[in-house]
Amino acid sequence: MKYAWIENGQIRDVAWSDPEKIYHPDIAKLYDTQVPDDAANGDGWANGQLVKPEPPPPAPPAPRSWTADDFRKGMSLAEKTKWDNNSAPEIVTVKAELPKQQAGAQELVDFLVASNVISQASATKIME
């Protein structure tokens, strides 16, 4: 068991050793509550019981960002040849605009399809 300084139902600090040995007596007297060894600063304390806070929800995944390599992977061999050789001005423009997140990538893919640089099937593969 450890000793903790508790204020307003929350553990303000847990002493790492006997408070009387590590703190001035005026401070040591604030560490007046025995708590379980797994108690940590910020935990709750209610009716003599440790209350662990709810873990925060997981962070949402970062939005996907498409790169030139992602575009190339979805293309047919003939389209990859055009892409690698910058054989159309639309390809040069799209490469200059990358990387892009979902909406921007979709706009670029649609532009390549409308320009007959890639097929709709390749566009679908790119956006998967």
**Spatial separation of the C-alpha atoms in residues 39 and 79, rounded to whole Å:** 60
Buried b (16+ CB within 10 A) or exposed e, 87-104: ebebbeebeeebebeeee
Does residue 29 fall inside a structural domain? yes
Percent of the chain with pLDDT over 90: 96
Residues 41 and 92 in one domain: no
Domain that holds residue 101: 65-126
**Spatial separation of the C-alpha atoms in residues 82 and 112, rounded to whole Å:** 12
Is residue 57's pLDDT more than 90? yes
Residues 44 and 83 in one domain: no
pLDDT tier for residue 1 given thresholds of 50, 70 and 90: confident
For the stretch 68-120, pLDDT in tens is 999 999 999 999 999 999 999 999 999 999 999 999 999 999 999 999 999 99
Instruction: Please tell me the total count of domains within the chain.
Output: 2
